[in-house]
Amino acid sequence: MTNAQPAARITAPAAPRKSWNAGKMAVIGILLVAVGLASFAWWWNWQRTQRCLEFFGGEGAHLIRTANRVEGLTLTGLYEVEPHERIVVGPDAFVMGGRKDLSRAAGLVHARTSLLDDASYDWSDQTTGDCEPLVVYVVTFREGDQAITLAFDFGCRRLWIVEAQRHVTLAPKIASGWESFMKRQMNPDSPPADRK
């Protein structure tokens, strides 16, 4: 007598089930947090430059941030004699004295950034005539045939756009920072800016 055994069934292995394991969920969570933080950072930086963008204009703000030629000028006194180069700042005209290329000056990147931050200015300050103007330095940001020229009045903490004859009041910390930067860079005894 023969023992008949039932034929073995051949079955294909079960297809692996796709499951959302903890590792995949963690990666997705990290990506969502990163996108959220990046969006917040973009919004934060955008909203803190809007008044500056309005004051300087889009082209002016772009030149301040990226112009490849930055030149510092020292003003030597009020303009009186015709043959001198002059620059007009508000109601006064000044004789242009020394010039210096600041394009590669140490600290220029931070100085540029400070000019484009709304917190660098006292937008509500409407003082007139209760300070002693002291305009000594001018900075020109130039790219090709486009330029914006800024005059610093450290006596009244004002920053002037020379081309538009508009001004705004600098925050005390920014005014003292720019005054220190310009004195250091425009001092005739200082070595030329490092060129690499």
What pTM value is reported for the model? 0.70
Query: Within a 10 A sphere around the Cβ of 55, how many other Cβ atoms?
Result: 20
CA–CA dist 44, 50 (Å, integer)? 11
Residue 108 has pLDDT above 80, yes or no: yes
Q: Tell which residue, 68, 71, 73, has the closest CA to residue 143.
A: 68
Residue 91 has pLDDT above 70, yes or no: yes
70 neighbors 139 (Cβ within 8 angstroms): yes
What is the band of 128 on the pLDDT scale with cuts at 50, 70, 90? Answer: low
- Which carries the bigger pLDDT value, residue 80 or residue 176? 176
- Which carries the bigger pLDDT value, residue 184 or residue 25? 184
101 neighbors 164 (Cβ within 8 angstroms): no
Backbone angles phi, psi at 141, to 5 degrees: -105, 120
What is the band of 30 on the pLDDT scale with cuts at 50, 70, 90? Answer: confident
Find the mean pLDDT for residues 144-158: 93
188 neighbors 98 (Cβ within 8 angstroms): yes
Find the mean pLDDT for residues 109-115: 93
- Which carries the bigger pLDDT value, residue 51 or residue 6? 51
CA–CA dist 122, 125 (Å, integer)? 6
Residue 84 has pLDDT above 80, yes or no: no
Residue 46 has pLDDT above 90, yes or no: no
What is the band of 93 on the pLDDT scale with cuts at 50, 70, 90? Answer: confident
Averaged pLDDT of the chain: 81
